Amino acid sequence: MNVFDLKDPDGGVFAFQVDNTFLGRRGVCKLLARIPGCRILKGPGFLSWFWQEQFCQFKIGDVAFVVWEPYGDNDQYWIGPEQARWVPEIAVVRQVFIDEPGIPPWVRAGMVLLFVAMACAMLWGLVSGRIYR
């Protein structure tokens, strides 16, 4: 999975972002639960994508972390400590996402092609008058 580092002025990674196209909010919590010593304090609520920017809180040792989706409709999740600063535990959290293989490129390409084909079929139906007549 692609991880996009956010660095402080000293070059230390204090947080990171991951693409959320094929990784849902519950999927993030499941990945985090794999970390030894990680305690999930709060997971995504019902329809959290509709009303909740910050949808996951967890702790590793004494460090509290959050996962949120900026503006509620971003294409990436922000993962880092509640108090944005470098902590050694961020490397462990980051590694879990790096090790996750994600969706193979051929599956992504197939999904895009399917979406384009469906959009074209609907457009053709609207233009030809075969839909909503």
pLDDT digits (tens, 9 = 90+) for 10-48: 899 999 998 877 777 788 889 999 999 999 998 776 665
**Co-location of 96 and 108 in the same domain:** no
Instruction: Please measure the distance between the N-terminal and C-terminal CA atoms of the chain and give it in whole angstroms.
Output: 45
For residue 43, the enclosing domain spans 3-102
Domain count, the chain: 2
Global pTM reads 0.71
The DSSP call for residue 70 is G
**Co-location of 16 and 40 in the same domain:** yes
| Distance from C-alpha of 79 to C-alpha of 106, rounded to nearest angstrom | 27
Q: Are 72 and 49 in contact (CB under 8 A)?
A: yes
